Structures are given as C-alpha cells and as structure tokens.
Amino acid sequence: MVIWTLALKSLWNRRTTAALMALAISISVALLLSVEMLRTAAKEGFTNTISGTDLIVGARTGPINLLLASVFRIGNATTNISWATYQKIAKHPDVAWTIPISLGDSHRGFRVLGTDQDYFRHYHFAGDQSLHFTAGHSFQNLYEAVLGADVERKLHYKLGDTIILAHGVGPVSFEKHTDKPFRVVGILAKTGTPVDRTVHVSLESITAIHVDWRTGVHAPANARVSAEQLKRMDLTPKDITAFLVGMRSKVLALRMQRAINEYTGEALLAVIPGVALNQLWSLVGIADTALMIVAAFVVLASLLGMLTSILTSLNERRREMAILRSVGARPRHILALMVIEAGLLAALGVIFGTIWAYVLIVAGRPILQNEFGVFIDVNVPSAYDISILCIIVLSALLIGFLPAFRAYRNTLSDGLQIRV
C-alpha cells in the first residue's frame, strides 16, 4: 500500500508530464475504441439490412453482384428475369411469399424500386423489424410513390408533392419521364438500411413509364401513350430484376436454391442472404481491419512515448531513488514503483479514452445515421472491448519494466554517491 501511495504522490509531483502522457494514451485509446465501435456497427448494419428472407433470386451472375444490386441498390443487374419464370417459382407449394423487385430508374440520385404490396408486408430488417410509415400509406394506384426516410429528409418532400422519375441510375439524367409525374403518398420510417435511400413505386408504374421507350430511346411526342390511356391498359410487367423468397420451412431453402440454380428454362441464380453477406463482409472487412491495425499502432506509439518520457526522467530522479534507499526502500521497491507508475498512467489513459470514445460516438451518432445509414447502439463495453483495454494496461506494465530495471540497477550502483 505504501508503494501505491508513493507512486500516486510521485505522479502528482510530476503532474504536467504525467498528464501529457496520460492524454496521449487516452487519445489513442479513444481512437481504437471508436474504430472498433464503428467496425462493429458497420458489420451489424450489413447483417441487419435484410432479415427473414431465405433466398434472393436473379439472373445468373455472381452472388455478391446479385446481393449488391437487389438489396443495397448498388450497380445494375446483368439481365432481367421473365415474369413467367417469376410466377412459376412464386406459385411453388414450398414458397410462402415473394417480393418482386424492378430496378433501373432513379430520382435525383436516389434509386427507384418497383415492387408490390408484399414488399411492405414481408420485408424485414434488423432481426424481425418490419417497415412502418411515419406519414401516409403504401401506393394504391398508378403514379403513386412511397419515399424512404433519407429521400424525404434530403429533398424536403411532403405528402402530395409531385416528383419526376429519371431514366437510368446516374446522378444526372437527361432523359426524364416528365409526361408521367408521380405523387408522394407515403413516407417510411428510418431503418438504417438502403430502404431509406429508395423511392418505391408499383411494378405497373415501372411498366407504364417505359411503354414509350424502345432500346433506351423515348418515342417521339406524337407517338407516346398518355398517362390517362395507360390506366386502361394491361400493365403486367414482362420481366423484373430480381425477387426475394420466403420459404414455408427454413430446411427447404437449400433444396429450392439448388432447384433454381439448375433451372433449365432460364439462367437463374439463387443465393442465401446470410452467406452472400458474409462473402461481402470478407471483402469490405479488409478496410476496417486495416483501420484497426492503424489504431493499434497509434496506441503502441503512445505507450512508447510514455516509455521514452520515463527513461528521459530517470537521470533527474536518481537523487530521489537514492533518498528512498536511504529511508529503507529496497531495489525491488524501486522496481515496483516504476512499474506501478507506468500502469497508473495507462489506466488513467484507458479510463479517459473510454469516456472520450463514448462522447464522440454519442455526438456523431446522428451524423452517421443520417448521412451514412450506420446506426450505432451505445452499450456498455463488451467483453472484447474490456479485453483490449486490459491488454493496453498490461502492455504498459510490461513496458514499464525497462525503466524500472534501469532504476533498479542505478540504485544498486549509486547508493548515496550521486553522480551529477
């Protein structure tokens, strides 16, 4: 207990230097914990994007490409699936529900998704959470649109506003469906998924706005079908981009996946969302691993800075050590004193670094959620986080043995004869 009291008083006597060392460690710890929290939140965001869906079916391509296009709205599908094939699979006795997806248009940089009412009934995210409306309702008629939370927030739309969809998915489009405007009838609650950045319309609406288009070119004005005429036409789609499948039993998913992949009528690919998400994370996870390594090296640099500071101060403290020896301290007490000081500095840095990390996360959480769709749930440090913090303190104790051993040897050689 005397050694602990002496260590505290020694640090207080050198409080400016000690505070700077603890500050450096706390900044590095805050960086490390923040990166770890963001990494965990990003991974959970990936896995929580879609839940309860057993299969994603699209044209034959790579599993990650299909996942990115159908779920994350990134990129484009290589080709479409015929409506007849979709209907055949949807009516299979083992299939409980399906959600058709049609992509290819946009609105002011946001993707447009054509679907049906099953989308609002069966799409789940973050476990078992379903889609909810903050205002309005789902589309019921032609030329009605439902906006994701980010679309409404960034473009400042409200119910009843008119929007014009653009042909293609580029940020700037020179071809717009100006003759067939849509009315906003619903706004979805925030989900933290790509749903927030999507404009939802019916499949029939997607067919209607493309009736006048041939091979990507709009028909002349005198040859176009009016919006009112289209309401009386059969607007059953000829094809869709992909569809989500929910099976009556989870054990049937693998059998259905194999049957779809071996389907001879059309080149199809069925993927299990969880497997595709793991493959996707294995690719993008390289970046967050690199960030963790950088943050770990920052912590190491701060610990080495502490070591350098303690070593530099040893010559100044040789008289102090000799006085301690004169009042009965043994060399092992000197060694313990130096190690405890290093441990206390690291412990202070860990405590304040943890506090700063949580302050930064709480302050930045609204920005991360609104701008990037990354939701961070602020909880007590996990067992993994605590283990990291303990490793930092233990590393400081081990590093402290080097100056401690130097001080130990100095006290043996100096005695009371101090060389100045």
- The CA–CA distances, whole Å, from 348 to 11, 26, 27 equal 12, 8, 11
DSSP state of 128: T
Give dist(CA 300, CA 24) in Å, integer. Answer: 11
Cβ burial, residue 344 (10 Å; 0-12/13-18/19+): buried
Residues 6 or more apart in contact with residue 147 via CB below 8 angstroms: 157, 184, 186, 187, 188, 199, 200
- Identity (one letter) of the amino acid at 199? V
Total Cβ atoms within 10 A of residue 172 = 9
The full length of the chain comes to 420
Structure tokens at 71: 């779920």
Residues 6 or more apart in contact with residue 39 via CB below 8 angstroms: 288, 291, 292
Total Cβ atoms within 10 A of residue 350 = 25
Give dist(CA 4, CA 9) in Å, integer. Answer: 9
Query: What Rg, from alpha-carbon coordinates, does the chain have?
Result: 31
Total Cβ atoms within 10 A of residue 278 = 13
Q: Which residue has the tokens 């940089």?
A: 109
Beta bridge partners of 176: 166
Give dist(CA 323, CA 337) in Å, integer. Answer: 14
- Identity (one letter) of the amino acid at 259? A
Cβ burial, residue 161 (10 Å; 0-12/13-18/19+): middle
Q: Which residue has the tokens 């960034």?
A: 154
DSSP helix/strand/coil, 56: strand
Q: What is the full per-residue pLDDT of the chain (420 aa) written as tens digits?
A: 666 777 777 777 777 888 888 888 899 888 888 888 877 777 777 777 888 899 999 999 889 899 988 998 888 877 899 999 999 999 999 999 999 999 988 998 899 999 999 999 999 987 788 999 999 999 998 899 999 998 998 999 999 999 999 877 766 555 777 778 999 999 999 888 889 999 999 999 998 888 876 655 555 555 567 667 777 787 889 999 999 999 999 889 999 999 999 999 899 999 999 888 888 887 777 777 787 888 888 888 888 888 887 777 666 666 666 666 666 666 667 777 778 888 888 899 899 999 998 888 888 777 766 665 566 667 778 888 888 889 888 888 888 787 777 766 666 555 445 444
Say what the pLDDT of residue 151 is. 93
Say what the pLDDT of residue 418 is. 46
Dihedral sign from CA coordinates of 225, 229, 233, 235: positive
**Helix, strand, coil abundance in the chain, percent, nearest 5:** 55, 15, 30
Total Cβ atoms within 10 A of residue 211 = 15
DSSP state of 176: B
Residues 6 or more apart in contact with residue 390 via CB below 8 angstroms: none
Q: Are the beta carbons of 193 and 112 closer than 8 angstroms?
A: no
- The CA–CA distances, whole Å, from 270 to 6, 115, 125 equal 68, 19, 20
pTM greater than the 0.85 cutoff: no
| Strands 198-202 and 110-115, bridge-based pairing | parallel
Say what the pLDDT of residue 22 is. 86
DSSP helix/strand/coil, 68: helix
Say what the pLDDT of residue 331 is. 65
Which of 241, 250, 248 shows the shortest CA–CA distance to 274? Answer: 250
- Up-side HSE of residue 221: CA atoms within 13 Å toward CB? 2
